[in-house]
Amino acid sequence: VMDGVSSINSDFEAANILKKALNLRELTEKQFNQTITIVKNIDSDFEKANVLKTALQRNQPSENQVIEILNNVKTIDSDFEKSN
């Protein structure tokens, strides 16, 4: 599933698929890392922030994964979305 998501051009659709995958079960480390990598390609601040929030709520990220999530947060331009 994760491999196919990276080829979706719609931020909305990609984010929905990622959020559904995150909500189904806790991801393996590899799947979680793939998700964070895919999130980097989402341009929409709203969609990116929502996927990152879901990732944090539904998983127990390692220290390195938290760093990657925070690096993704830095790419969000909207102060509102960043603060959520």
| Residue the block writes with tokens 């659709």 | 13
On whether the CB atoms of residues 17 and 5 are closer than 8 A, the answer is: yes
Give the model confidence (pLDDT) of 71-84 as tens digits.
999 999 999 998 88
Residue-wise pLDDT for 52-64, tens only, equals: 999 888 778 889 8
Give the whole-angstrom CA distance, residue 22 versus residue 58.
6
Burial 12-34 (b: 16+ CB within 10 A, else e): eebbbbbbebbeeeebeeebbbb
pTM equals 0.87
Q: Convert the pLDDT of each residue in 8-39 to its tens digit.
A: 889 999 999 999 988 887 788 888 888 888 99
Q: Residues 5, 38: contact at Cβ < 8 Å?
A: yes
